[in-house]
Each structure stands twice: as C-alpha cells, then as structure tokens.
Amino acid sequence: MKIISYNVNGIRSALNKGLIDWIKEHQADIYCFQELKANKEDIPTERFEELGYSCYWFSAQKKGYSGVGVITKIKPLEVTYGCGLEQADYEGRVLQLKFSEFTLINTYFPSGSSGDERQAYKMEFLSEYLDLIKTTLATENKQLIVAGDYNICHQAIDIHDPKGNKDSSGFLSEERAWMDQFFEQGMIDSFRIVNQEPHQYSWWSFRANARNNNKGWRIDYINVSAALKDHIQHAEILPHIMHSDHCPVELVLKFD
C-alpha cells in the first residue's frame, strides 16, 4: 500500500502545474494533501474520481487558506472531518479516515513564522493535538498513521542550517521537544527508519534559489505507530516532483 503526503500550496495551482498527470503516472493508493487553499466546491473533484479515487475535502472557513484533503482508492470505513478543536477545525487542519488496517490522520500543522500570535497558537495546537494522539492510540485500534506538514524539523539532520535557524519557528527547542514527546507516545519516524542520510528535505524557501541549492527543511512526515513498524517496506522523499514549494513524501506498507 503506497501512501503519499503532499503540501500542494494551493491545489488548483498544483493542478495547473501537472498534478493530475503525476498522480496518473504514480498511482499511489492514498494521497494526503495539505494547504488546499480552496473551498470544496471550487476543487475539480471529478478529475481525481476519473482516476479511480474517492475524495474527501475539509476546507478552512476562510477562503483561500489552509485546508486538507485525502483521495483514496481504498474506501474508508469511516471519515471524521476535523478533530473537535474549535480553531483547528475552523482552519481546516485535520481529516481522519478509518481503514480496516489502520486509522489515518491527515494534518496541516500551524506555522508560527508570521509572528508571536501565531507561534503561541501553534504551541497551543501542539499541546491539544498530542492529547488527540494519546486518545487515538489508547483505543483498540493502535495502528495509526499521522501524515502531514508538521511545520517542524525534529533534529539537526532535518534542516540545512541548524545553527542559523535555532531561533526560527519550525526549529525552536520547544517545538523539537514536542516532537520528542510525540515519538515517546509510540510513534515512529518512518522515513528515518529507512533512510539515515543527511540533506533530505521536503520544503524549500522561494528565496535565494534555495531548492536548487538544496537548502531545505524536512517538515513533512508520514509517521506510524509502533504496531505498524514491521509493515514498513519503503519510505522516501520525492524532491524531483515540483508542483509546490514542498515535495511529496512517500511510505509503502505491506500487509499480508
């Protein structure tokens, strides 16, 4: 089972840059999109359905902002729009799908880069979100996947300039400590299980030719609970795919 997580930075923009052609060629089973920047009615759902995908969109109340979506060839048993956190749901940040083999939570974590107010909200969200993860893991279904743009680099290996960015939102000590707590719940960084190499990034600034120089950040993840560890067959980042300032990240799971 092939799963993709991809911050498309505007799904209509990504479609104009060839997203459908890539999906048609790539044929993953599940795509988790973040930052749709579109209302549900403005997304050409039929283009995905023509390729055999069922589509689930959770847009922000504010037009042209945030939003998450999942397209899947495997019909979910249950879909939950949102997570019960008022501001997060207003901003369209969390979409949960239950499948027979696992529960999938697709999340667009807040960025704190625009100022102190948003950074404060980011930390509030992280605290409340960790409770959601603990609750989900405590249920009978301990097979959990948390995909999305986390807007956090966990370790120095995940960012091109750790010293220069130690005071930057996305690499603050308190954010990295939250990632430690997240993994301590029994979640696993599926990419790092497979690939320990440096210079592996999923987002690059539009400034200073950062992508061509590979001065990036690894802030996009498909993390899994320990119960799924033995099902991990492959994980990689796809930096050559360029519909966005992010690139897709991929996880392949094998079930008997």
Tokens 């795509």 correspond to what residue? Answer: 31
The token pair that represents 136 in the structure block? 């989900």
What is the model's pLDDT at position 140?
64
Residue 64 DSSP label: T
Task: Say if residue 27's pLDDT is above 90.
Answer: yes
- What CA–CA distances, in Å, run from 47 to 19, 20, 29, 36? 10, 7, 16, 15
Confidence (pTM): 0.97
Query: 116-138 and 173-184 helices cross at what angle (nearest 10)?
Result: 10
Gap between the Cα atoms of 51 and 27, Å rounded: 9
What are the backbone dihedrals phi and psi of residue 5, each rounded to the nearest 5 degrees, phi first? -115, 135
Give the tens place of pLDDT for each residue, 168-179.
999 999 999 999
Gap between the Cα atoms of 166 and 109, Å rounded: 19
Contact 150, 249 (CB under 8 A): no
Gap between the Cα atoms of 183 and 225, Å rounded: 9
**Half-sphere exposure of residue 125: CA atoms within 13 angstroms, side-chain side:** 25
Weakest mean pLDDT among 46-55, 139-148, 193-202? 139-148
3-state DSSP percent of the chain in helix, strand and coil, to 5: 30, 25, 45
Domains of the chain, CATH where assigned: 2-253 (3.60.10.10)
Task: Say if residue 28's pLDDT is above 80.
Answer: yes
What is the residue-averaged pLDDT of the chain?
97
The token pair that represents 229 in the structure block? 């560890």
What is the model's pLDDT at position 13?
98
Q: Which amino acid is at 235?
A: A
Among the listed residues 21, 42, 116, 149, the single catalytic one is 149
Gap between the Cα atoms of 8 and 220, Å rounded: 11
pLDDT mean over 146-151: 98
What are the backbone dihedrals phi and psi of residue 98, each rounded to the nearest 5 degrees, phi first? -105, 125
Three-state secondary structure call for residue 7: strand
Give the tens place of pLDDT for each residue, 60-114.
999 999 999 999 999 999 999 999 999 999 999 999 999 999 999 999 999 999 8
Contact 36, 69 (CB under 8 A): yes
The reply to whether 149 belongs to the active site is yes
- What CA–CA distances, in Å, run from 255 to 190, 230, 232, 233? 16, 9, 9, 10
Q: Which amino acid is at 240?
A: H
Q: Please give the share of the chain, as a percent, with pLDDT higher than 90.
A: 96
Contact 4, 236 (CB under 8 A): no
Give the tens place of pLDDT for each residue, 178-234.
999 999 999 999 999 999 999 999 999 999 999 999 999 999 999 999 999 999 999
Residue 188: count other Cβ atoms within 10 Å of its Cβ.
16
